[in-house]
Amino acid sequence: MTLEELKQRVAQIDWFHTIDLGQGVVTPGRDPTPAKLQTLGLPEDLSGKTVLDIGAWDGFFSFTCAQRGAEVLATDHFCWNGTGWGTKAGFELAREVLDSPVRDREIDAMDISSAAVGTHDIVLFLGVLYHLRHPLLALEKVAEVTRERLILETEVDLVDLRRPAVAFYADTGLNDDPTNWWAPNAAALRGMLQAVGFSRIVVMRKPRPLPLRLARAMKQQLTQGKSCSREYTRDRMVVHAFK
């Protein structure tokens, strides 16, 4: 397609991921995806590895793994065919333009199993856990399909508690999003991963210190009019869990 045709097709899609499609065209994603990639600790060389991306959405991380040499299966259902605002159009256009060999399978995260998708050396589970009503069961399913390493990125809450704890969000308690249900703290996340069979947990990104979280919460209150009474207890974490 011509550059103008590409720009027109990109403009017709509501993007979540920010993806460089070449020719100076970058998708206008809501998510600062390239910056997030820097926090994941994704190996630079994935030659000979198989990767399963659960909750792929527009496919940025699937395509990145393929570019690093992996054989990749991207899976999603809610963001491709669910009741939210996401669609599969971004994934399909980006795969076409990037000429990526990434395969896809439309399957819900809670239906993941070795019988359904096989087992994979590396599994990506990025920004999915807190959207699921049954997080421990979900991690059991993820562990079943992981041969070597799980790379998990998630919202965490109650981060100043040392004891394992999980926050439950009623209605739209997290980011005004009714699809957000639970967020563990660091101790709970580690314990859950160990409970489903991972033997070693390495934290790649831990919650920021309290002063930084308070500053972020106060900024949100000033710029967005949101109360900071609970914002400071939350952050994001990235862990690598090994079999």
The ranges assigned to domains in the chain are 3-209+235-242
Spatial distance between the Cα atoms of 147 and 209, rounded to a whole number of angstroms = 34
Spatial distance between the Cα atoms of 179 and 221, rounded to a whole number of angstroms = 23
Dihedral over Cα of 170, 176, 181, 186: its sign: negative
Kindly report, residue by residue over 168-202, the tens digit of the pLDDT: 998 766 777 788 999 999 999 999 999 999 999 99
| pTM confidence score | 0.92
Spatial distance between the Cα atoms of 65 and 214, rounded to a whole number of angstroms = 35
Cβ–Cβ < 8 Å for 137, 130: no
Cβ–Cβ < 8 Å for 200, 165: no
Classify domain 3-209+235-242 by CATH architecture.
3-Layer(aba) Sandwich (3.40)
| Residue bearing the bigger pLDDT, 112 or 171 | 112
Arithmetic mean of pLDDT, 148-172: 93
DSSP secondary structure, 20-37, as one string: EEETTEE---SS-HHHHH
